[in-house]
Amino acid sequence: GRAYFAQSDSHLIEVMPFGVDKGSALLKLADYLKIDPAETIGFGDNTNDIPLLLKAGIGVAVGNSAKPLKEIADYVCIAHRNKGFDEGLQKFIFSKPPFCQ
């Protein structure tokens, strides 16, 4: 309960104070910008992104993501890496009609 550990690659382990992760950062930024977290999208590819996808309104895993991330994602892209990011943007942002017409 004093530290948060995340493995973002087979040879890389991240160690942060407990409560500090991508999900808590998203909530802090959303609060600062006065955005409802339900109106956010989190993109990821590895297990260190799990807190982000769980806190975001929509959690998107790119195609080459780790299996545990794919299992909790709301949407799994077909494309890998930056093309997966583009796929998610196209699906959830650019395919939507404008808010004000």
Which H, E and C letters describe 34-45, residue by residue?
A: CCCHHHCEEEEC
What are 23-78's pLDDT values in tens digits? 999 999 999 999 999 999 999 999 999 999 999 999 999 999 999 999 999 999 99
Q: Running DSSP on this structure, what letter comes out for residue 9?
A: E
Residue 101 confidence (pLDDT) above 50: no
Structure tokens at 34: 């006065």
pTM for the model stands at: 0.84
With a CB cutoff of 8 Å and minimum separation 6, the contacts of 75 are 58, 59, 60, 61, 88, 91, 92
Rounded-to-integer distance, Cα 76 and Cα 64, Å: 9
